[in-house]
Amino acid sequence: MGHRAAIVGAGHTRFGALDEGPRALLRTAVDQAFASVDRGAERARVGEAFLATLGFGGWQIGNSSTLLGEESGLVGVPTTRVENACASGGFAVRAGVRALEEGRSDLVLVAGLEKMTDLRAPRRRYWLGVSGDTEWERLAGLTFAGVYGLIASAYAHRHPGARDAMAEVAAKNHENGRHNPNAHFQKAVSREEVLRAPRVADPLGLLDCCPVSDGAAALLLARPDRAREFTDTPVFLEGLGAASDRLAVQERPDVTRFAATRRAGEAAFQEARMGRSQVSFLEVHDCFTIAELLALEDLGFAGPGEAVSMTLSGATRPGGRLPVNPDGGLKAKGHPIGATGVSQVYEVFLQLRAAAGARQVPGAETALAHNVGGAGATATVSLFRRG
């Protein structure tokens, strides 16, 4: 099909427990995105804008996309909020691409945002819970860590070595986060520390979980035929798949496979006409360490259970055969819900322009970004190539 869209600019705040409120976070990410466009981008050229946010804590549940217009100097253009839980960002990128394809805009702004740390723990649990199944999960007391704990137990029961592989995912992603100045955590942890950490939802411990973070990210997407007006080094989106599944995990035939990821991945690879072996690195949705193992299998980079040996072999470390989450992933970079899917594409943009500094994947030509909502209920997969 060829290029579907070009990324010509991108911005990112720090992720973590931040003093700034939602508006300031948005403004910082968007200003950075505009400033990053090599030949400049007039705000007046932006024809449409999308905001990915869960609206955590209820800071502005309804009509929140107008705040993106206000903080971007784009009041007047159509703005739309996209909400698909933790996959809001991936679906907002998809909405932006489709808006470009409609042909009415040359340039589209896609931003993602969440402000989470200003709530106390019980309210945080409530706001995370609203994206899960209510009847069978939430009201039974299952948190997301609880659901992923059940998935991890089922996976570990079938596949020996899985617990060590999960610890390796955390150790690797924390090591990667050390080289990302925007990451929530920039400190290394060993596999032993991961295994010894306090239990959150057996077998998952504190260091198997992504944190609760504040942050924002923004992208400027251009029509591919206009990309060179903005930069000599655009990054092209070549394939984009999206899918959904039943909300409650108990409704699924096998909890260790995410059908939404599988469908979205197949669609993206088919559209991009790219083989798995051509992908230089992955940004996958590791909200809990088990999720990175599932992603490798559901995306077709490993067979059932094979993500264990692949991970333990070091193949997914920087310098390995297929680096995964060079920015630290959700585990170490942080997971401000609506910002995550946009942040993954920010990393792709840096890496494919060879601008990722100490965490640069040498010679990266192509990349995959994978964003999941809830425990596999919604998913997007995108494939990118350097221009």
Q: Which residues are catalytic?
A: 86, 335
Kindly tell me the sign of the dihedral angle through the C-alpha atoms of 107, 362, 270, 151: negative
Q: How far is the CB of 183 from ligand COA (least distance, A)?
A: 11
User: CB neighbours of 82 closer than 8 A, spacing ≥ 6?
Assistant: 50, 51, 52, 88, 91, 92, 95
CA distance 239 to 272: 4
CA distance 133 to 135: 6
Residue number with CB closer to ligand COA (69 or 177): 177
Kindly tell me the sign of the dihedral angle through the C-alpha atoms of 117, 122, 123, 124: positive
CA distance 28 to 105: 24
Residue number with CB closer to ligand COA (5 or 264): 264
What is the DSSP pairing of strand 215-222 with strand 79-82? unpaired
Q: How far is the CB of 194 from ligand COA (least distance, A)?
A: 9
Among 274, 327, 387, smallest CA distance to 14 is for 327
Interface residues toward ligand COA, by CB under 6 A = 86, 121, 128, 144-145, 185, 200, 206-207, 209-212, 287, 335
Concatenated DSSP letters of 135-147: IIIITTT--HHHH
First to last CA, the chain: 16
Q: How far is the CB of 344 from ligand COA (least distance, A)?
A: 14
CA distance 79 to 110: 10
Q: How far is the CB of 268 from ligand COA (least distance, A)?
A: 21
3-state SS class at 287: coil
Q: How far is the CB of 384 from ligand COA (least distance, A)?
A: 24
What is the DSSP pairing of strand 46-52 with strand 107-114? parallel
Q: How far is the CB of 128 from ligand COA (least distance, A)?
A: 5
Among 339, 243, 264, smallest CA distance to 15 is for 339
Angle, helix 162-177 to helix 144-158, in steps of 10 degrees: 130
